[in-house]
Amino acid sequence: MKKIFRILSLCLISTFLLVGCGNSKNNEKTTETGKKIEEKSSVKAESVEQKKVYVTPEWVKSVIDGNQEESKDYVILEVSWGDEEASPTYLKGHIPGAVHMNTDNVESEEMWNYRTPEEFEKLMKDYGITKDTTVICYSDVGTNSADDRVAFSMLWSGVENVKCLDGGLDSWNKAKYDLEEKTNEPSKTDKDFGVKIPAHPEYVLSIDQVKEKLGKDENFKLVSIRSKDEFIGKTSGYSYIKRAGEPKGAIWGHDTDDGSYNKEDGTTVGIDVVEKYLKESNASLENETSYYCGTGWRAAIPFLIAYENGYTNVTLYDGGWNEWQMDDSLPVQVGDPASDDVEYKTVKELPTDKAKN
């Protein structure tokens, strides 16, 4: 009798161990037919402040998983120039639910400045975006400024909660989160955007405002976010811009394309780096700073860094060098203004053989 009792006890213990170990190790459920299905984990990242722009892949995943209360209404934009077939990564694999955003949707070909408020109103409806939608932008890698360009346009328009995936798709892949290859169409809405576009016209300076401030306002600093060769006039940096130089009075703020605004892991630098670059030209974050590049992409990055750190004395000169060099009468500098190796002239006097090959 004792032998039978011991056998029954061992069987019960073995059964308990097998069931318990199986559930804890594999985290599996079974269907009615007994087929095992694996449960996917739900990511719960800490919430971030509304003005925080650059966010982790964990935060984006937690939004997708429904674990960010303030971001239940969200849109994820995979941003690059051209349609989705021209995207480096969209059809190869994108963040689940992401829709493609062509940068042409936010800027026009005339000078590659932002489109009209009326065009933005239509764009927002076409993509199901209101001022209360959380808009998450990303590009293929962290050094691609296409997503920053679109993110800035969303803030300018009036979207209150705008994010960029820090480090781009590279960071998502490093986190080993899933991708999908199917095309996602934007979900149109008939809802009113909720505020007159642009809600923040003060974020952008026109060429006339820049001309007015340069040379007259000592606190104003026009900061070039371009390569050193572009800044000193060796090349325009663009195949369609024939002249090279900078607006007279501009200072250099380093280039985003060469990694100056990225950490070793591809994520975005902090406000201390922006401060360091300004200090090189005897400027600081206490100055009124307006960032520009060729057509506004690269310049969006230092603006967004300053924005998320609470600075309100920063703007974007949207027209950049492309618009400046279209006016023959405007003053320019060629060379480094911090040295004796600089020339001052007008746009009309510049050679027209400086386009990027």
Q: Summarize pLDDT for 220-278 with one digit per residue, the tens.
A: 999 999 999 999 999 999 999 999 999 999 999 999 999 999 999 999 999 999 999 99
Token couple for 247: 């607006």
Query: Do the domains spanning 54-198 and 202-349 agree at the CATH topology level?
Result: yes
Q: What is the mean pLDDT of residues 273-297?
A: 98
CATH code linked to domain 202-349: 3.40.250.10
Q: How far is CA 338 from the centre of its chain?
A: 31
Q: Summarize pLDDT for 294-353 with one digit per residue, the tens.
A: 999 999 999 999 999 999 999 999 999 999 999 999 999 999 998 889 999 999 999 999
CATH code linked to domain 54-198: 3.40.250.10
- The rounded distance, in Å, linking the Cα atoms of 84 and 100 is 6
Collect all residues with Cβ–Cβ distance below 8 Å to 170 and sequence separation of at least 6.
Answer: 140, 141, 142, 266
pTM over 0.85: yes
Q: Summarize pLDDT for 102-148 with one digit per residue, the tens.
A: 999 999 988 999 999 999 999 999 999 999 999 999 999 878 899 99
pLDDT at 16: 35
Q: Where are the domains of the chain?
A: 54-198, 202-349
* Helix residue ranges per DSSP H, 176-299: 207-213, 228-231, 271-279
Collect all residues with Cβ–Cβ distance below 8 Å to 267 and sequence separation of at least 6.
Answer: 54, 142, 166, 167, 171
- The rounded distance, in Å, linking the Cα atoms of 184 and 94 is 10
- Does 137 qualify as catalytic in the annotation? no
pLDDT at 13: 37
- The rounded distance, in Å, linking the Cα atoms of 185 and 190 is 16
pLDDT at 222: 98
Backbone angles phi, psi at 3, to 5 degrees: -60, -45
- Give CA separation, 14 vs 8, 9, 19, 308, in Å: 10, 9, 9, 57
Is 289 in contact with 221 (CB distance < 8 Å)?
yes
> Helices 300-308 and 146-157 meet at what angle, rounded to 10?
60
* Position 17 pLDDT exceeds 60: no
Q: Which of 11, 21, 164, 293 is catalytic?
A: 293
